[in-house]
Structure formats: C-alpha cells, structure tokens
Structure 1
C-alpha cells in the first residue's frame, strides 16, 4: 500500500485570480442585475477561470443586497455612480457575517477593504473613487454596530427581498413567510435524480460512497448530496446514470403518470419543456410517445442534449404551446405537463438575482400567460386524460388561485390529489407526497386536472 502523496508547497500552488479581480467582476455582475440583466447572461460572459469564484461572491452579494444597500446609504451623503455603488455593496456584503452555509468565501476584514480599493483602481469607471471606497469601508468597520442598528427596522434590509415581495408572502403564507424568506437566503442543496433505466438508487448511492460522496434519499429517485460537487465527480454522469434536479421538480413525473400503466402508444405533451429535466424523468418512468415543446430554439437544443446524454428519445420542437394551430396535428394527448412560465419565486435560493429582477407587475402579467396556456391546452387533452399544472412559484396567484379559477371555468375538469404549494425550507405535506421529511426542496406548486370521460 503506497503512502498518500504530500500536498504541494504553497510556493508550488497555482496562483488563481486575486480577490480584487474577483470583486471587480462581482460588482459588474451586481450592477448588471440592478440594471435588469439576469445572471444567466452575465456569468457566462466571464472567463472560465474566474467564473466559480465570481459566482460565489455574486450569489453572496445578492443574498445580502438589501442589507448592503441600506448600509451604503448610511455611509454616503449622495448615492455614488452605479459602478461604485455596486462595488461598495459587494464589499459590504462580504464584510457582513452572513452565515450562508459557508458557500461564500470568507476573508479578513482588512483584506476585503484593501482588495475592494484595488478593485476600484482596476476599473476605469471607478479608479478615481478608490479613496472614497476606502473611506466608506473603513467607516463601516469602525461604526458597524451603530450602522447595523440604524437599518435594523428596514424590512428590505432585514429580509433581503423587495418590499412588495415580502408583503405578498405575508398575505399568501401568514404562518410561513419568515421561514420562506430565511430559506431563500441560504444556498439550496445539490440533489440528484437517479436514472432508473440505467441503475437504481441504492446501487448509485453505493457508487457515490465509493468515491467519498455521502448522500440521503429523497422522493422516489432522488439523492441529496451532503455537499455540492462538480458533475464530473459524479460516477457515470456523462453516461446518463444521474441528473441534477431539485426534489420538488422530481415530483412532476410521478404526479402525472401515477395510477396507470403507460406505454409507447400513449401520447404525452411536455408543453414548456426546456431545459428538459422533467421531459427526461417522464421517459425514465415509461416509454412514451412524447412531444417536448419550447418557444426558444436555443433552449430546445438543451432538451435534445439532455435526452442524448441519458439515452432517451422524444420529438423536440420549437413552438409556442399557447398557439396550437401552429404545431398541433389534431390528435389529442393522453397526458399534458404544463410547467408554466412564472415568477420563479420558489427557486430564489438557487437564483438569488430573481428577487431583484422581478417587479410586482410581473405577477399579474405571468398569471395571464398561465391562464392562456391552460385554456389553449385543455382542448388538446383526451376525455379521461390528465393535465399537470406546475410552477416554481410560492405566490398563490400563480398556484392555488390559478387552479381554483381553472376549475370554475372548466366544468369537465376534476382536481386529482396533488401537493399544492411546496414551500422552501419546509417539509412536504404528510401522506403520499411526503418526501421522507426532507427540507431540501425548492418552492413549487402542483395541481393535476383529470378530464371527464366520454
């Protein structure tokens, strides 16, 4: 048995990007979000060597942005230029003792200040403000306790969500709104879905153990990893043994297909399918004649890639599900999955930019789109068929209220048992939808409508 290799000496270790460089790009990402751009656009533009560190810092900054904005407002007499404001917020967020599960890097306070000043010098838009950045951050360190007390009663600073979002959650979930907001400010766990066509969960869990990765079962096919990992560390990932998918999203296939035998003659529509996780899970459960739609051709390529890695087949088409005249062949479906466009208010812990990008008016606009999709797709369902309506939202307007309105206007629809609203940070409802007591799922809503028979 050979002895383990000695770790390389510090002098031999490769030098990564400095904190100043990472902070400069973090501030640019925070500024992009404040200007209305998604991180899914901003982060891929970074060099690969910078992306992991900058993503971690940016996620941390956005989880603390309400507090950081309030503190920066206390530190300045006049709001600085947007690049300087974004840098100050990013640095202040890093100086806060957030306790967000250790996912954001931690540095000594003097290092953060010095590197933030250097980041200002590196950016031509803020280089002349480097002394101002230094003065603000050093004042924060001197007066931290007083400054924190000054913003303590600001709900946006306390909960790090827009005020309209907080107030809507207070109305929608009066008993759980605080738990939802607290969960949103923590990173979500990494959850795997085992491909039951290639292996089973027990064997795959053993394969994970063999490479030193601990996990806990969740749902029917899921495993929650004790710590997030790069996918290239997952045994058999490239060969399709597993996928990364949250526990709440994994409920869709079972809710749609449960209770009957399915085969290649059954026509199933996944109406808003990209990136293809739920499409694949349906096909892992059963051989189906499945059509996967998405309005964006580029996102359709992701569905195709997902299916190819998992060894699954479906017809993938770029089309607007809400306009059946453009794509439907006139043959009704046995089952339809409508994972409708929504505010994404249930997946904020994985996408911390969402809370700052959304506006209160977006809710009504998305509710109207959901209503139109439901109305357009219901006639495409066979008598005796089933439609599963899903959103990754915790807002009742996109969930329970939408389902109630649908039932009022479609007298041939019957609501089957389904979990309704799943809330992040809270266990799933007891009974058949219990996910082994896991508190690891995202926020979601499910309602299944069965169509009256002939």
Structure 2
C-alpha cells in the first residue's frame, strides 16, 4: 500500500469507529458494513477491525457507562461518531494488549479522517482521564452492565432462566469457536482428521456430531485442506444437529424451509444422498444465491425456490413432503456470541412480531407435510416465547400434530430441546420434532 504507516493506522481506527456508528446509530448489520471497511486493509488489519468492532459490541454497556462518567454531555450529531471512537479507545485500554500510548495517540489521530479535527483535544483528555483514574479497574455493581446485554434482553433472560442466567450471560460474551462439518460425500470424518493432523491443525471432536470438528484456534478457513474441493463446510455444532434430527430416508421428498445460507440443506443431502428430492426455499433472492454457492462448492444439487414461507400457495405445486425442516425466522439470541451486533439491532418489541410471524409460517407450512410425515421446527433463539411456548400453542390448535415421543428432552410443559449458548461448545438453538397423524 502507498499509505504511510501513520496514515494507515489512523484510518484503521477511523474505519472501526465508522462501522460502530453504522451499527449502533444507523441500524446496519455487521455483515453489511464490516466488509466494506475491511476491503482496503491487509489480512492482519481486517482481523483487527473485526476483533475491535466485535469487542466494543460485546462490552458496550460498560463502555457507555465509562463514557457517561467522563464526557460532560453527549456530542452533537455532526461529531457523534467521535463517541464511538472514544469507546474504541476505552476497549483497547481495558481489554486489549495495545500500549496506552498507541491507544490514545492513534484514536486522537483518527479524528481527522472522521472530519472531527476540533475534537482531538477532547478525545485526548477523555482517554488520559480514563488512564489516570484507573477506570478499567472500577467496575459498576450492576449485573446488567457487566453482562454486556441490553436491558430488555437481560430482563427476559432473568425471567426465563432465573437459576441459569449467570452462566448463560457469561457464555454469550465468550468468542465462539469455529466448527467444521466434514462433507461425507467427499471425505469421511476420520480421513479429514488425518489431513488436519498432517498439517498440525489442532481440533476436538464431539460424540453428538459425528461429522463435526471444533478447531482449537482461529484461522483463515480458505487455507484449510480441501476448501476449494468442498471437503468441509463451516457450521456450528448446534446447527449440525438439524439434519441428523430430521433423519431423512431414501426416496423421500424433503423441504428445507427458510433455508439460507444452505448449510442444513447441504448436510441433509450429505447424510442421505438417495432422497428423491430436496427443495430449498427462501424469501430473499440474494440469500438464495448463497445457497446455490454452497451447493456448488460442496458438490450437491437441490431445487431452489424464492418464496414467502407464510404464503406457500404462491410457490407450492401441491405435492406434499415426507419431511420438512422449518428453520423459522427468529431473534437469533442464541448466536449473539458469534454475532454481537444482533443484540443492538434487536428491540424488545421485535419479539412479539417474530412470534406472530413464526406462528403464521408453521400454520401455513403444516399442510405441505404428508400424513405420517415429520416436521423439525428450529430456531437459533433462547427465548421461550419463540420456542417452547410457540410449539405448545401450535400443538393446542392443531389436532393432527403431536410431539415425537422419541425426541422430547424437556418436561411436557416445555416441549422440544433447548440448547443454551456454550453447551458442549455449541450456540444456543431450539428443536422440536413434530409428527403428523
């Protein structure tokens, strides 16, 4: 790059502040804005940008607490972005190994590319006060702030899990591991493990996911053996349970409803190559293209349909399915450790809207299932309203639906299986297997 080192570093801080501003002030997802910020940087600094951005999002309530103590009044709109730059500085000083001098000087220098040169003195003073007062060691006596969660979500988890909320909150703050799923059509799990051994890549295995591996440290996925050849996919252990629980059989017709980005579709095809057909449906055309990309890389074929799951008459040809995987739209509260922007993009009022949409979809999709067929309802949520309560309500109003007696790990008033964040190194997930009489 032609930039000098100083210019390059100051832009790095400025880019991080811009990403935080876009997420927290403009409601953009990290998936939308982070890649744009990363494109002008090398691999090391791309990783730094994600690490710092996600770090601030994880610790935001505490960083905001410190900001309120050290900033006399909120900054005006035209320089509001500087508040995010200051919080980035706090995060570096309190949670990273960067030197205090670098954290302060580079944040001060970043004011210029943010069109906020006049705030240089303010940024310098606030960060030096933070260091002088040793505020990194002064933590408030407030569990919600220390949990890193917004107030609305903290209260919901406290209500839903009065005896488990502390370990749940702790697990939601831990950086998620990288899970791989070995493509059985290309390599057995044992064969792929030998390849990793030969390349000195350390991993773990879990009994419940026979195709799964957990990498012991992060890496560039594209450099792993067989990436281009489609020997594996990246998929969390909880999501890997879906295809196993669906348990497709030869000559069956399968529907993967709300299928993007296609990880579960591919896994279904890997576990039972002799199914009659697999239809992957999603409402978003761009996300449908991601399914196609994943199918192509892994060497699979499925029928793709762009449609609204709550309005199947617009896309369904009338032929019923033997098994349906319904991965319902949800709050994604179970994967916050992997995508910490989620908790700041969601609002408490969103939950009622999602619950109503889930109910509409499951009622609309149920007629597409053959008598004697199986539907697997799934979410990446840990909120009972989207999971156990949703399924209980569905069973009450649907006379030909019943829980599969072989799959109901919780009590009868809490149907299905709720996986909590961090359980066996997995994300938070919910499954309920339903049978049609």
Alignment of 1:27-426 (within 5 A): 27-35=17-25, 36-46=27-37, 47-49=39-41, 50-81=45-76, 82-97=80-95, 106-124=97-115, 126-145=116-135, 149=138, 152-218=140-206, 219-257=209-247, 262-263=249-250, 265-287=251-273, 288=275, 289-416=277-404, 417-418=407-408, 420-426=417-423
Q: Residue 242 of structure 2: SS of its match in structure 1?
A: helix
Q: Distance in 1 between matches of 2:6 and 2:60?
A: 26
Q: Residue 223 of structure 1: SS of its match in structure 2?
A: strand
Q: Going by fraction, where is helix more abundant, 1 or 2? A: 2
Structure 2 CA distance for partners of 1:243 and 1:54, relative to 1, 3 Å: same
- Tell me how far 1:17 sits from its aligned partner: 7.6
- TM-score under structure 1 length normalisation: 0.88
- Tell me how far 1:196 sits from its aligned partner: 1.0
Structure 2 CA distance for partners of 1:253 and 1:48, relative to 1, 3 Å: farther
Q: Distance in 1 between matches of 2:272 and 2:48?
A: 40
Counterpart of 2:11 (choices 21, 36, 47) is: 21
**Contact conserved, 1:67 with 1:156, CA < 8 A, in 2?**
no
Q: After superposition, what is the alpha-carbon deviation per residue over 1:71-110, rounded to whole angstroms, capped at 9, x for unaligned?
A: 000001101232111111111112113xxxxxxx530112
Structure 2 CA distance for partners of 1:159 and 1:306, relative to 1, 3 Å: same
How many aligned residue pairs are there? 413
Q: Residue 377 of structure 1: SS of its match in structure 2?
A: helix
**Contact conserved, 1:155 with 1:163, CA < 8 A, in 2?**
no
**Contact conserved, 1:68 with 1:157, CA < 8 A, in 2?**
no
Question: Which ranges of structure 2 fall in alignment gaps of 5 or more residues?
Answer: 410-416
Q: Distance in 2 between matches of 1:312 and 1:387?
A: 23
Structure 2 CA distance for partners of 1:16 and 1:293, relative to 1, 3 Å: farther
Structure 2 CA distance for partners of 1:443 and 1:171, relative to 1, 3 Å: same
Structure 2 CA distance for partners of 1:17 and 1:269, relative to 1, 3 Å: farther
Q: Residue 45 of structure 1: SS of its match in structure 2?
A: helix
- TM-score under structure 2 length normalisation: 0.91
Structure 2 CA distance for partners of 1:298 and 1:279, relative to 1, 3 Å: same
Q: Distance in 1 between matches of 2:305 and 2:378?
A: 20
Please provide the CA RMSD for this pair: 1.6
Structure 2 CA distance for partners of 1:15 and 1:127, relative to 1, 3 Å: closer
Q: Distance in 2 between matches of 1:48 and 1:285?
A: 40
Q: Distance in 1 between matches of 2:239 and 2:300?
A: 19
